[in-house]
Amino acid sequence: MKEIYDLLIIGAGPAGLAAAIEAAKHKISVLVLDEQSEAGGQIYRSIRTTQSLRPETYALLGPDYQHGENLEKTFREAGIEFLAGASVWQVEPDRALHFLRNGKSQKVSYRRLLAATGALERPVAIPGWTLPGVMGAAAADVLLKSSGAVPSGKVVLAGSGPLLWLAASRLVSAEVKILAVLETTKYAYYLQALPYLPQALRAAEYLLKGLRLKRQIRRAGIPVFSGIRQLRAEGAQKLEAVHFDHRGQSKNFEAETLLIHEGIVPNTQLTRQLGCEHRWYERQRYWHPLLDEWGNSSVDGVAVAGDGGIVAGALIAEASGHLSALEAAFQLGAIQKIIEIRPPKLTVKLSGIIKRCVLFWNSYFRQIRKSSFHLRRTL
Amino acid sequence: MLKRLRNSKGKNITIWFEEKPISAQEGESVASALLCAGVEDLRTAPLSGASRAPYCWMGVCFECLLEIDGQPNRQSCLIPVQEGMRIRRPALNFGESA
C-alpha cells in the first residue's frame, strides 16, 4: 500500500468496481477498500466463493446475481490494489482516512475520494424486532449469497417493495417453508400510484419481473395478506409467533423466522462524517448526499457513485461508477477533455438468445438516461 | 435456526465456540456457521440482558459481535471461518474483555 492514492474508492460493489476499472484505464493510482471479505458488494456478495464452492446456490441466484461475475473478474484481472476486510472508521478533512483491517488501524491519504458505499436495508422497528429469529428479508438474501444458508424453520415475510418478493422467490426456490407473505402496502397506495403507470410501462420489463415473482409465490401456495397493520414479533428468548391485523381481524402465525423489508436506503455514514450536504428525497423517503451530474458532493474532492447517492439499482450503480471515475481522471488532469460520454461496455455474458440481449441492452441505456435524470433532480 | 442449502465443495473446518468444537465449511461466515450448528443467539444486550442474533448480515447492525481469537467485538457475519478459530460470546459487562 502506498501513502497516497489519486483515487481512493470505498466499497467494492458494482459502483466501486466499475469506477476502479475505469480509473485504472486512465493510469491514475487507485486503492479500493471494502469491509466485506471479498469484492461484489451486497448485490454480488461473495460471488467468487459462491461460484467456486457453492455452484448450486450460484445457479439458484440467477442472472441478476451472475451479472456480477464478469465485473468482478475484470476488476481482479486489472490488478487494481484492493484491500478486503477493511472497515473505514474515520475520515479527516485533510484528505486522509483511517481503516481497521485484521485488528490493526492504518492510515491512507487520497487526492480524490469516491464513496461507493451502497445501500442498507431500511431498519424498521416493530415490537419484538430484536428477538433472535427476526431479520431483514434482504439480509436473508445476503446470507444466502455470503454463506449459502437459509432459515431452517417456518418463515413469515412482511413488508413491501421488490426485494421482499425477490427474497421470497429465492427462498421458495431453496424449498424453505414459507407460511405467509404479509404486505404492509395500503390499498390506497395502489390507487395513488396509478397515475405513474403509463410512465412505468416504459420500463415494462421491471413490472413483468415483479409480476413473475408474485406469481411464483402464489403458485407455491403461499398465502399473501395485503394491507396488514400492527405487525409485531412475540417470543420469550426468541421469535415464537408473528401477530398482525388484517381487514380488522387479528391473526397470527407460529414461526421461527420473520423477515422484514421496507426498501433500502443509501448508506450515508461516510458522507455524513465528511460533512457533505444531504437532502431529503420524499419519493423514496430517505436522506441522501447532494450530488451533481458527475457524482461530485458538496465537499471538494469527494464524490459518490451508486446506491450511496440515489437508490437506483446495480446497473445504474455500475454506470455511475464509470462516470465518477472519468470525472476523477479529468479533475486529476489524467484526461484533458471529456469529448464524448460513451456508455460503458456491457459486462454481461451474452449467452442468452439474441432477443433477450437486445432487450437488456435497451433497458441498460434507458437506465443510464434515468440515472442522469435522477441526478439532475437532485441539483 | 439456519441450515445450509447444500453442502459446499469447500473443506470441512472445525471452529471452537465457548470451548466446544463446531463443524463448519470453508467459505461461510462465522455467524452463519454458528447458527447452522444450532446456536440461537450470539450475544446479550448489555442493559436488558435480552438475547440477540444477527439482523442485517452485511455489517451495519452489530448484533453479531463476538470475540474471535482473543479479539473482542468482531463482526462475525463478515468474517469467514478458519480452521481452529476460537470464538466466545462477548463479556456482558463493558470493559471486561478489553
How far apart CA A327 and CA A303 sit, in angstroms, is 9
3-state secondary structure of A113: strand
Tally of CA atoms within 13 A in the half-sphere of A92 that contains its CB = 10
Domain final residue pick, A262, A278, A303: A262
3-state secondary structure of B59: coil
DSSP of A122-165: PP---TTTTSTTEEEHHHHHHHHHHH-EEE-S-EEEEEESHHHH
Pair A104, A171 in one domain: no
DSSP of A302-357: EEE-GGGTS---HHHHHHHHHHHHHHHHHHTTSSS-----PPPPP-S---S-HHHH
3-state secondary structure of A248: coil
Asked if B52 and A132 come within 8 Å (Cβ–Cβ), the reply is yes
**Closest residue on chain B to A52 (Cα):** B9
Cα dihedral sign, B69-B74-B76-B77: negative
Query: Which pLDDT belongs to residue A261?
Result: 98
Q: How far is CA A282 from the centre of its chain?
A: 19
A204 phi/psi in degrees, rounded to 5: -60, -30
The answer for residues whose C-beta is within 8 angstroms of residue A199's C-beta and 6 or more apart is: none
**Which residues, listed in sequence order, are joined to residue A303 by a DSSP beta bridge?**
A114, A296
B5 at interface of A, judged by CB pairs closer than 8 A:
yes
Complex ipTM: 0.94
Pair A142, A189 in one domain: yes
Domain final residue pick, A195, A229, A262: A262
pLDDT confidence band for B91 (50 / 70 / 90): confident
- Residue ranges of chain A with per-residue pLDDT less than 70: 337-379
* Residue A260 contacts residue A136 (beta carbons within 8 Å): yes
Pair A219, A88 in one domain: no
pLDDT confidence band for B94 (50 / 70 / 90): low
Pair A116, A229 in one domain: no
Pair A252, A328 in one domain: no
Query: Which pLDDT belongs to residue A360?
Result: 47
Domain final residue pick, A240, A262, A284: A262
Pair A104, A146 in one domain: no
| CATH number of domain containing A215 | 3.50.50.60
Write out the H or E segment, with its range, that includes residue A175.
Answer: none
3-state secondary structure of A75: helix
**Cβ-Cβ contacts under 8 Å, B71 against chain A:** 103
Query: Which pLDDT belongs to residue A368?
Result: 56
For residue A3, with 0-12 CB atoms within 10 Å meaning exposed, 13-18 middle and 19 or more buried, which class applies? exposed
**Cβ-Cβ contacts under 8 Å, A147 against chain B:** 27-29, 32-33
State the total domains in chain A: 2
* Residue A332 contacts residue A112 (beta carbons within 8 Å): yes
Pick from A53, A146, A267: CB nearest B57: A146
* Residue A111 contacts residue A6 (beta carbons within 8 Å): yes
Q: List pLDDT tens digits, range B18-56.
A: 999 999 999 999 999 999 999 999 999 988 899 999 999
Residue with cell 395485503: A226
Q: How far is CA A357 from CA A62, A146, A175, A287, A346, in A?
A: 16, 28, 30, 35, 10
Pair A273, A361 in one domain: yes
First to last CA, chain B: 30
**Which residues, listed in sequence order, are joined to residue A150 by a DSSP beta bridge?**
B3
pTM score over 0.95: no
What domains lie within chain B, and their CATH numbers? 13-88 (3.10.20.440)
Asked if A149 and B28 come within 8 Å (Cβ–Cβ), the reply is yes
A319 phi/psi in degrees, rounded to 5: -65, -40
Cα dihedral sign, A34-A37-A39-A45: negative
Name the DSSP letter for residue B55. Answer: S
Pair A257, A287 in one domain: no
**Closest residue on chain A to B24 (Cα):** A147
Q: A57: distance to nearest CA of chain B, Å? A: 7
Task: Copy the grid coordinates of residue A143.
Answer: 446470507
How far apart CA A294 and CA A211 sit, in angstroms, is 34
Asked if A132 and B26 come within 8 Å (Cβ–Cβ), the reply is no
Angle at A198 between CA A197 and CA A203, to 5 degrees: 85
Closest by Cα among A372, A254, A335 to A27:
A335
Q: A135: distance to nearest CA of chain B, Å? A: 4
Pair A151, A128 in one domain: yes
Q: Which domain holds residue A201?
A: 123-262
Pair A108, A128 in one domain: no
A207 phi/psi in degrees, rounded to 5: -65, -45
Pair A94, A205 in one domain: no
Name the DSSP letter for residue A166. Answer: H
3-state secondary structure of A369: helix
Query: Which pLDDT belongs to residue B7?
Result: 82
**Which residues, listed in sequence order, are joined to residue B20 by a DSSP beta bridge?**
B17
Q: 3-state SS string over A10-33?
A: ECCCHHHHHHHHHHHHCCCCEEEE
* Residue A118 contacts residue A42 (beta carbons within 8 Å): yes
Q: How many helices (H) and strands (E) does chain B have?
A: 1, 8
Closest by Cα among A270, A243, A57, A152 to B8:
A57
Pick from B33, B53, B55: CB nearest A136: B55
Pair A232, A199 in one domain: yes
**Cβ-Cβ contacts under 8 Å, A148 against chain B:** 4-6, 8, 27-28
Q: A357: distance to nearest CA of chain B, Å? A: 31
How far apart CA A137 and CA A261 sit, in angstroms, is 5
